[in-house]
Structure 1
Amino acid sequence: MQPTIERYTTNAGRRLYRLPLEVFPNFIGYAYLLVEDERTVLIDAGSVMPQSVDALREHVETVREEYGEPVSLETLSLVLITHGHIDHFSGLSVLQEEIRAPIIVHDLDIGILHDYRERLVMASKALAVFLQRAGVSEERRARLLEMYLSVKSLVTPIRGVRRLSEAGDLLGAITPIHAPGHCPGQVCLRIDDILISADHILPRTTPHLAPESITPYTGLGHYFAALETIQHAARDVRLVLGGHEEPLDDLVGRIEQIRRSHERKLERFYNLCSHPRTIAELSLEHYGKRQGYDIILALTEAGAHVEYLYQRGYLTLANVDDVEREPNPVLLYRRA
């Protein structure tokens, strides 16, 4: 059963509507509509998929017709994007002709909205190097890169996007908190006693992390640091609303669960490196055999944890002579 619109009220009386969208087949994400007096802010815009775009239009109409709020896409005061992943912003590719409000995103993600194809192509070059060093065969690398680039034509450039650093008074009661790791420019948004956590903190799953060697400001080190920032900046919030899954009422407890989950993974990868291993071998050992795009997710998630251990001196290279001699060899990691 599809989730329905939910209304929340902050301790200052601001109304926040959670709008469920099928951003990918059988995968629900949430946009949010913040209403106070005559001001309305759309937080995230779902995906470019027709079912997501149609649902967003319908939900805004429902908030107007059934909840009596003076809202429409055409009269929004602001659109605020939490991060540059297509299930959170690409609906604007279709809706930008209807939306006249300023569109704001963190400075580190503005290039993604301006030209998604360019950023994807550039990231694919770094991904190709990562996959080769991870020990993925040439034939399999070609298939994975084709899959990775298959969505590049879905998202057209979003015009007129502004940087979060220049937003000034446009944000009103919203306090953004930079939370990189899952995405370079991801922000969580504090609105009185409610935190919109985007994909940084979810109640049941931990967000996917890729190595910083592929995309700067991603990776486990940035993610851990952002968890610490959120814990200090929003530890007294009453409710956490994420980009996916159900609401959460114990932010500090959930942060501790997430930390322990990653610490267990780090220990597992460290122990697996009792003898020289490639990232491809470690991924298969830890996550098992995966299919489709899940192969890329498993390889890059393993890579993020190995990168963290290597950066901090827990792992070392077992074949440094090969690295010195060859242009881009497979990397073998072992415990330091």
Structure 2
Amino acid sequence: MHQHSLDLMADFRRKYLDARKSEALTILDLGSQDFNGSYREVLANPSWRYIGVDLTPGPNVDLVLQNAYHWRELKSGSADVLVSGQTFEHTEFFWDTMSEIARVLKPGGVCCIIAPSSGPQHRYPRDCWRIFPDGFAAVARYAHLEVLDAQTQWEDLPEYDNENNKWHDSVLIARKPELPLRLRLQFAFFSWLKRRFQPGPGPADTIVEVFPMLGGELREADSLYLRFSPNEWRDVTFRLPPGAAGAPLRIDFVSPFPVVDVGRLRLKVSGNTLYDAAAGAGFGGIRLGGDAERLPDAKFLRVKITGIDPQLWLPMVTVPPGAEVEVHLRLRAHAPHRLETDSK
């Protein structure tokens, strides 16, 4: 949560909420988990009820949703205000999210959505979109919301540093119109039909991402990644860019499945194998970081993914300058019911 986003939300409060300080407003903050700041203080008021909403428990989360696009935990027409910042870019099907926002807002309720229009890739756990004003206006219209304002910071602002300016934030402010009863029933009925009968999306691929050391840093901009389908073993090879050090080497996973098996992990330098783990004991030198959890297994490294930042760290190895470095992996992602399946 960068300062420009906080300032945009403070501006929204001044323009649309401060005149309602004495009202008992219910404010939902979608994607509220506090990694490096939140809107809670910006929206603090004794008369208002702030509810942090997210898909996983954590700091600043009051309510955990079980489904990203069907919020059974929230009643229709229950919120006066919904805010969301730095969430839509990570949401695969954000138009369905906007439909749920429209559903939970009361007639006359307002939303403020902030998302970047530019900036580098930053997966939490995925990074799917950048949004312009016309895109925000279109998705609001899709959800039958009235656009009050939609704009983008097109130029760098001198009062902010590069960490703020690189995102060129877009902001949408929209209101749920007061519709006649007939139209409200129509929308409610079609919303129910969609939730009840529309097939959901297929499972997303698992992403394995290798972070080489370049210039003494590990940066997502320098990372290499591949995707693989679930339940079957997949052999993948990463060839690190020239000048990349072989260690410390970090490997991340992004997966809709809670378990990733590593059947083999081999590091080759100029054709010579410097590190090779291919059995349960051989994986002992690999350190788990972030929110990864090691599960017991005699044959391979079994990793339980409990959040959005599971990491594997390889042991330190010496790589000669200018050497060609390759990382070879044998991987499988699966759900808990596959836990008893052995490696073939």
Superposition TM-score, scaled by structure 2 size: 0.35
Considering only CA atoms, is the larger Rg found in Structure 1 or Structure 2?
Answer: 2
Q: Give the number of the structure whose residues are more often strand, by fraction.
A: 2
